[in-house]
Structure 1
Amino acid sequence: MSDYDGKAMIELRLRDGAQLFNSLDPFPFREGDLAAEAEGYILDWARDLPKDKPIAIVIHLEKPDAPDKPLPDLATAITRWFAGRASAETRALHELFHDGRLALMIGFAGLAACLSLSWLLTQDSEGPFARVFRESLIIIGWVVIWRPAEMFLYDWVPILRRRKLYRRLAEANVEVRLPEQ
């Protein structure tokens, strides 16, 4: 990791371009999946980079591919991969809020049912058992609404953080450097 023309740089040293991709993926390089190790390496370094600088990814290839086999467009493959990951995080965020709204409606119904039930079943009695029963139903009602509250208060933060990182990587300047001949 170093500074490259005002950008925070991530460097990868590879034997060849195919090392960057999942070998089980049948799609060509431009549409293929990045290898989990390559993606993890890039993400680990990108998390440590300054947030205020754009990212540059420099790929050093030890040996060029065979002359009859053209060099895959690694820059496009990497930026498309991370753009796709950013889109997936956007979908995950929409799903979280959709699920959160549904959970909130269920939670409020559960809370209302517990509060109503505690009031109905204990309005004529004031003994210790009635009080324990009433308080237990109130606690159960608040527990029912806990998860929707957690979804809206906290669960979206890591999704936004990942999406921002993926977008930065999708906008990264990717340069492939071949060995000197």
Structure 2
Amino acid sequence: MPERYGEATIELRLRDGAQLFNMLDPFPFREGDLAADAEAYIVDWARDLPKDEPIRIVVHLERPAPPGSPMPDLAGAITNWFAGRANAETRALRELFRDGRLAFAIGFVGLAICLLLTWLLTRGREGPFARIFQESLIIIGWVVIWRPAEMFLYDWVPILRRRRLFRRLAKARVEVRPSAG
């Protein structure tokens, strides 16, 4: 993975351009799905690259398209794929926060009910069983609100990180070269 001209470079060596795509996809170029292995390879390398440098992807083809046959737009296919993945992460982030708001409302109501039950059922009662019941309802109430809090505090971070990476890959400069050897 050599670096050149202030760009972090990812290199792929393929037999031909079709190897980059999901072979079950009826649209093999531009609109097609990148093969899972190809995407995983690119994403894994991109995660290790410096965050402040643009990315360059160099695709070396052992067998370029024969003369006269249309050359697939591999560069466009790769950048469009990752732009689509970035958009999917944006949608996932929106859905997480929408679901989080609903979960928080449900959790808050659950916590309020548990606290109200604690107050109503143990009012004026003393002793170890009343205390156990009281503490149990309080714990249940906090457990009910735990997941919504987790959604807002932590779950969005990996989604944002993936979206940032996919946006960088969507902006990558892609070069397709015949393999030298």
> Given the two structures, how large is their TM-score scaled by the length of structure 1?
0.97
Counterpart for residue 178 of structure 1: 178
1:17 aligns with 2:17: yes
Counterpart for residue 142 of structure 1: 142
Unaligned runs of 5+ in 2: none
Deviation per CA, 1:120-162, whole angstroms, max 9, x where unpaired?
A: 0000211110010000000000000000000000000000000
Counterpart for residue 159 of structure 1: 159
1:130 aligns with 2:130: yes
Q: Could you say if the C-alpha distance between residues 130 and 179 of structure 1 is closer, same or farther in structure 2, counting changes exceeding 3 Å?
A: closer
Identity %: 76
Q: Is the 8 A contact 2:22 2:28 kept in 1?
A: no
Q: Is the 8 A contact 1:4 1:56 kept in 2?
A: no
Whole-Å Cα distance in 2 between the matches of residues 16 and 133 of structure 1? 68
The DSSP-based 3-state class of the residue aligned with 1:174 is strand
Output aligned runs, 1:1-181, within 5 Å: 1-179=1-179
Give the drift of 1:66: 2.6
Whole-Å Cα distance in 2 between the matches of residues 158 and 123 of structure 1? 45
Give the drift of 1:180: 5.9
Give the drift of 1:178: 1.6
Whole-Å Cα distance in 2 between the matches of residues 73 and 112 of structure 1? 58
Deviation per CA, 1:84-106, whole angstroms, max 9, x where unpaired?
A: 00000000000000000000000
Runs of 4 or more, structure 1, over 3 Å off, are: none
Whole-Å Cα distance in 2 between the matches of residues 179 and 160 of structure 1? 36
